[in-house]
Chain A
Amino acid sequence: MLFVSFSFLFLFLPGVLGVYYLFRSHRKLQNILLFLASLFFYACGEPKFVVLLLTSIFLNWLFALMIERNKGKGRLLLGVAVITNIGILFVFKYCNAVFSCIGFLCGGEIINSPFQNITLPIGISFFTFQALSYVIDVYRGEQCQKNLLYVGLYISFFPQLIAGPIVRYHSIANQLMERKETIDKFEDGIVRFIQGFCKKILLANTMAIIADKAFNNISELTVSFAWLGALCYTLQIFFDFSGYSDMAIGLGKMFGFEFEENFNYPYMASSVTEFWRRWHISLSNWFRDYVYIPLGGNRTESVSRNYFNLFVVWLLTGVWHGAHLNFALWGMGYFVLLVLEKATSFGKIIQKRKWIGHIYTLFIVMVLWVIFRAGGIQDAIQYIQTMFGLTEANLFSSQTWIYIKENIVYLFFAILLSTNICGRLKDKIFQQKEHKKVQIVISVVGEMCLVILFVISIVYIINGTYNPFIYFNF
């Protein structure tokens, strides 16, 4: 079920909200309701995979319990837990690709994977990582939840189940029993949900039209359209994913939960290092805490070992997105750039001259998104060659102008809202105490505009202008 579908918006959400607040003083009942609702939400995507989700919940609950009770064998049990989780992920996500690879290496023979007919369970990477973080945290001495229902709710809670943010158990452990629902929080949640909803429907989907046009016709691209396509995909993936995160955070708030932020204006970063502190924060933190630091992080004896640690993290980050060479290459691209920023004086130059850093970061991120989006390595190379005029493609086509002209308003707002200009402006006004009335007007008008945009977004859904979330594939 998609957050931007009729069934979610007009059946699931009001139904769950209504029953949830009917049980206002019965926290346990509320949690049971949220758990069951989450399972139903997941079942709407692919009912048979509910069994997989329940298995994951049960096993990780059991592993955590056993680790806590058998401290001496904790390491062994953790190893089993990690292998089990990664094994599940491997079977469903990577097995087919690995068998194809083996076949390729064996002289192009087709070797059928025993799981070739298995489809990718939606959100498997997200809930597996979330579950794994819980077990590892328990091994590290964090609180263990004995109640299966709460572990189940933590792993399967529908706002963040499909595409994150990847929530750490200790960050919501207390909220599971002792969260407080207030009208302020509820309203915050609504605003956040609507913001995400509009980002997805009005901006991401519009950018997708241009990006798809570019990436689906690489051989016919002109240089100008290639750049426009790359820019639009850069905006699309940001509004698509951050829109989903906003909706997840907003929904969490409506039920009294507070999730951590997943994005912080990543395209305002002045270095690739900073970009990754702002983009998909929960995933970066996960890799930092559960891969990079355990490998030794940057406190290693040798520089080469540190680079090796980075290499592993970025290879895994790339591959986490899917079993395609593109993703691995995309991750490796970031590895090279991070090492460049770390090991050479270039990092210092861009720190001193921020504007150079901004341009460089945006440029790099855009080019790497091309690798990420393209159908294959060949396509990616051809696309990038076209961007830099290395093919016989024309420099400009009037089609580029038409696509810009037709979507100029969306492009303007997409670029504007991908920066923190509006936020800074708002903060500036809100800091001045003498402008109290202006502040109220801005708040009320701003939020009423959001409601209008929400209605327009619903109209866009009714009229069939939607496409699915990019991050559902991962």
Chain B
Amino acid sequence: MKIKWSRKQRDKNYIITFCFMFIIFGGFFVQSSSLVRSVGTTLLGVMRGEVSLSECVNTFKEGCNLTVYNQDLSLDIFSFVHRVLGKHEARNFEVIKSDEGQLYFHGTDGEIKTEELQIIADEYEILYEETFRYGGHFLYVQVPFKNIGQAPELADYSTDNTEESENYLVHLMQDKEIPVLDLRNYGKCAKYYKTDHHWTEESAFFASAYIAKEIKRIYGIDLTGHEYYGDIKNYEPITYRDCFLGSYGIRVGPYFAGRDDFTVYNPKFKTNFDFKHFIDGEKQFEHQGTFWETFIDQEMLEDSNYKNKYNVNMYCAYVESIIQNYLAQNDYSGLLITHSYGRSMAQYMSLNFKELRYLDPQVGRYNGNYVEYIRNYKPDVVILMYNDKINVGDGQWKEDE
């Protein structure tokens, strides 16, 4: 029903109108730079005959939609609303929070892909045989991936076949009599950042220690000093509080996700390294000095605007890393083939080798032929910690998969 407004009541109209106009015109001015840019690009494209009428509209729309002013604030509000509503899931069950506050990604449903896992195991066998051929030593490591199956209370939110798939691959590797270290059996290696998919620095540290022990146990190779380097008492934990919002947290915002502390275990003993990072064979950067100076990106660590602190490790090197340990107590060389879990682990593992190389086989990272790499490099130890196809020249690995 309509009511008659007094002067005071009519002022309300102006308030609502003002708020609305402020929002849409505020957005208009922020978007205008994007608008000018997209109009410019589109017109240029039309003049050059590169853009058709429908593409023209699409380019224009994309340009208009790209700029989001203060994405952080919007994520904060999004996150806050979810927290107020007491939700355990966000973004249509894409990210799910456990009672302990751990965030998980929606699980992979359905049957495990046994055929694909067989191909993967065959590829790993090729690497094993290549290593064996020149007298090197090979270890397959099954990493404890963070997955929603680890939170039983979330079983009804999402089913997950990650562990089943891992079990199958481990089983295939064992059938091929390839040495396997299953880190899922070590609780210390299964600690994760609440807001991220990665394991903690502590877990990565212990994983490195267990791998060194396992190499000694299986092959009798004594990575001299590994017992000392594998003792956490010889490190000083340096913690940055509430600074880390990981890959899951960044999707759902800090009020829903919370924030993680970021702790680096800095050696109390003397260290001296040289660390180079290459992309397509070209050196990207080189760092030398102590453990901290060589591996920890101090600037990133202290940048309050940069939230994904996991990338502090090894200056976010993600393709081919070569680390020389000038104070190594042995002459062994190692090749670590793994995904980003390796970034936090390689820096601790490098203490055990004279030289350690770390290759990330994920698409868009180091995608050269790994058989050739091993053949040319001939490391004493090859550590493979991966669960996906890898380029071994068998034609199975494809960049677009």
User: Which residues does A use to contact B, with CB under 8 Å?
Assistant: 1, 5-7, 9-11, 13-15, 17-18, 43-44, 46-48, 183-184, 186-187, 190-191, 194, 209, 397-399, 401-402, 406, 409, 427, 430-431, 439-440, 443-444, 447-448, 450-451, 454-456, 458-460, 462-465
Q: Are A443 and B9 in contact (CB under 8 A)?
A: yes
Contacts of B61 in A (CB 8 A): 1, 7, 44
Pick from B13, B19, B30, B156: contact of A451, CB under 8 Å: B19
Q: Are A463 and B16 in contact (CB under 8 A)?
A: no
Given contacts A11-B35, A398-B156, A458-B23, 9 further A-B contacts (CB under 8 A): A7-B61, A11-B31, A11-B64, A46-B54, A187-B17, A401-B156, A409-B85, A443-B9, A459-B74
Of all chain A residues, which has the CB nearest B26?
A: A10
Minimal beta-carbon separation of A250 from chain B (angstroms): 10
B37 within 8 Å of A (CB atoms): no
Q: Are B64 and A191 in contact (CB under 8 A)?
A: no
Contacts of B91 in A (CB 8 A): 463-465
Query: How far does the alpha carbon of A95 sit from the alpha carbon of B61 in the complex, in Å?
Result: 31
Of A14, A183, A190, A430, which is in contact with the most chain B CB atoms at under 10 Å from its CB? Answer: A14
B3 within 8 Å of A (CB atoms): yes
- A459 with B31, Cβ < 8 A, contacts A443-B9, A447-B16 known: no
Q: Are B1 and A427 in contact (CB under 8 A)?
A: yes
Minimal beta-carbon separation of A149 from chain B (angstroms): 23
Query: How far does the alpha carbon of A427 sit from the alpha carbon of B31 in the complex, in Å?
Result: 40
9 contacts between A and B (CB under 8 A): A7-B65, A9-B27, A10-B28, A10-B31, A14-B28, A401-B156, A454-B23, A456-B81, A459-B77
Query: How far does the alpha carbon of A447 sit from the alpha carbon of B3 in the complex, in Å?
Result: 15
Query: How far does the alpha carbon of A440 sit from the alpha carbon of B61 in the complex, in Å?
Result: 41
Q: Are B89 and A406 in contact (CB under 8 A)?
A: yes
Q: Are B92 and A10 in contact (CB under 8 A)?
A: no
Of all chain A residues, which has the CB nearest B19?
A: A451
Q: Are A399 and B156 in contact (CB under 8 A)?
A: yes
Query: How far does the alpha carbon of A397 sit from the alpha carbon of B27 in the complex, in Å?
Result: 44
Contacts of B17 in A (CB 8 A): 183, 186-187, 190
B47 within 8 Å of A (CB atoms): no
Of all chain B residues, which has the CB nearest A400?
A: B156
Q: Are A463 and B31 in contact (CB under 8 A)?
A: no
Pick from A46, A406, A440, A443: contact of B87, CB under 8 Å: A406
B20 within 8 Å of A (CB atoms): yes
Q: Are B12 and A10 in contact (CB under 8 A)?
A: no
Chain A residues touching B, majority SS: helix
Query: How far does the alpha carbon of A18 sit from the alpha carbon of B8 in the complex, in Å?
Result: 27
Contacts of A450 in B (CB 8 A): 16
Q: Are B57 and A459 in contact (CB under 8 A)?
A: no
User: Which residues from 65 to 104 on chain B have a C-beta closer than 8 Å to any C-beta of chain A?
Assistant: 65, 68, 71, 74-75, 77-78, 81, 85, 87-89, 91-93
Query: How far does the alpha carbon of A123 sit from the alpha carbon of B5 in the complex, in Å?
Result: 39
B14 within 8 Å of A (CB atoms): yes
Query: How far does the alpha carbon of A463 sit from the alpha carbon of B91 in the complex, in Å?
Result: 8
Minimal beta-carbon separation of B331 from chain A (angstroms): 53
Minimal beta-carbon separation of A295 from chain B (angstroms): 38
Q: Are A194 and B20 in contact (CB under 8 A)?
A: yes
Query: How far does the alpha carbon of A147 sit from the alpha carbon of B17 in the complex, in Å?
Result: 34
- A13 with B24, Cβ < 8 A, contacts A460-B78, A462-B74 known: yes
B240 within 8 Å of A (CB atoms): no
Contacts of A402 in B (CB 8 A): 156-157
Query: How far does the alpha carbon of A176 sit from the alpha carbon of B288 in the complex, in Å?
Result: 75
Query: How far does the alpha carbon of A467 sit from the alpha carbon of B135 in the complex, in Å?
Result: 58
Contacts of B238 in A (CB 8 A): none
Q: Are A9 and B24 in contact (CB under 8 A)?
A: yes
Minimal beta-carbon separation of A457 from chain B (angstroms): 10
Query: How far does the alpha carbon of A450 sit from the alpha carbon of B19 in the complex, in Å?
Result: 11
Contacts of B81 in A (CB 8 A): 456, 459
Of all chain A residues, which has the CB nearest B75?
A: A463
Of all chain A residues, which has the CB nearest B11?
A: A444
Query: How far does the alpha carbon of A390 sit from the alpha carbon of B141 in the complex, in Å?
Result: 50
- A183 with B68, Cβ < 8 A, contacts A7-B61, A406-B87, A455-B77 known: no
B25 within 8 Å of A (CB atoms): yes
Contacts of A10 in B (CB 8 A): 24, 27-28, 30-31, 64
Pick from B25, B54, B77, B89: contact of A14, CB under 8 Å: B25
Minimal beta-carbon separation of A46 from chain B (angstroms): 7
Of all chain B residues, which has the CB nearest A444?
A: B12
Query: How far does the alpha carbon of A10 sit from the alpha carbon of B8 in the complex, in Å?
Result: 30
Query: How far does the alpha carbon of A186 sit from the alpha carbon of B14 in the complex, in Å?
Result: 10
Query: How far does the alpha carbon of A463 sit from the alpha carbon of B252 in the complex, in Å?
Result: 9
Q: Are A183 and B13 in contact (CB under 8 A)?
A: yes
Contacts of B71 in A (CB 8 A): 462
Query: How far does the alpha carbon of A406 sit from the alpha carbon of B20 in the complex, in Å?
Result: 30
Of all chain A residues, which has the CB nearest B62?
A: A7
Pick from A7, A447, A464: contact of B12, CB under 8 Å: A447
Of A6, A11, A465, which is in contact with the most chain B CB atoms at under 10 Å from its CB? Answer: A11
Pick from B1, B9, B28, B74: contact of A11, CB under 8 Å: B28
Scoring B residues 137 to 170 as 1 if CB is less than 8 Å from chain A, else 0, what string do you get?
A: 0000000000000000000110000000000000
Pick from B31, B54, B85: contact of A6, CB under 8 Å: B31
Of all chain B residues, which has the CB nearest A460?
A: B78
Of all chain A residues, which has the CB nearest B157?
A: A402
Query: How far does the alpha carbon of A46 sit from the alpha carbon of B53 in the complex, in Å?
Result: 9
Contacts of A430 in B (CB 8 A): 1, 3
Minimum-distance CB pairs A-B, first 5? A10-B27, A14-B28, A7-B64, A187-B13, A398-B156
Contacts of A46 in B (CB 8 A): 54
Minimal beta-carbon separation of B10 from chain A (angstroms): 8
Minimal beta-carbon separation of B299 from chain A (angstroms): 29
Of all chain A residues, which has the CB nearest B154?
A: A402
Pick from A191, A431, A458: contact of B16, CB under 8 Å: A191
Q: Are B16 and A190 in contact (CB under 8 A)?
A: yes
Contacts of A462 in B (CB 8 A): 68, 71, 74, 78
Scoring B residues 32 to 60 as 1 if CB is less than 8 Å from chain A, else 0, what string do you get?
A: 00010000000000000000011011001
Query: How far does the alpha carbon of A460 sit from the alpha carbon of B12 in the complex, in Å?
Result: 27
- A439 with B87, Cβ < 8 A, contacts A44-B61, A459-B74 known: no
Contacts of A406 in B (CB 8 A): 87-89
Minimal beta-carbon separation of B6 from chain A (angstroms): 8
Contacts of B12 in A (CB 8 A): 440, 443-444, 447
Minimal beta-carbon separation of A22 from chain B (angstroms): 13
Pick from A11, A44, A209, A443: contact of B92, CB under 8 Å: A209
Query: How far does the alpha carbon of A454 sit from the alpha carbon of B60 in the complex, in Å?
Result: 25
Q: Are A456 and B77 in contact (CB under 8 A)?
A: yes
Q: Are A463 and B74 in contact (CB under 8 A)?
A: yes
Q: Are B78 and A463 in contact (CB under 8 A)?
A: yes
Query: How far does the alpha carbon of A119 sit from the alpha carbon of B10 in the complex, in Å?
Result: 48
Query: How far does the alpha carbon of A87 sit from the alpha carbon of B182 in the complex, in Å?
Result: 68
Contacts of B74 in A (CB 8 A): 458-459, 462-463
Contacts of A443 in B (CB 8 A): 9, 12
- A6 with B64, Cβ < 8 A, contacts A48-B54, A406-B87, A455-B23 known: yes
Query: How far does the alpha carbon of A44 sit from the alpha carbon of B14 in the complex, in Å?
Result: 32
Query: How far does the alpha carbon of A456 sit from the alpha carbon of B28 in the complex, in Å?
Result: 18
Contacts of B9 in A (CB 8 A): 440, 443
Contacts of B53 in A (CB 8 A): 47-48
Of all chain A residues, which has the CB nearest B8?
A: A440
Contacts of A11 in B (CB 8 A): 28, 31, 35, 64
Of all chain B residues, which has the CB nearest A184?
A: B13
Query: How far does the alpha carbon of A406 sit from the alpha carbon of B93 in the complex, in Å?
Result: 10
Minimal beta-carbon separation of B273 from chain A (angstroms): 41
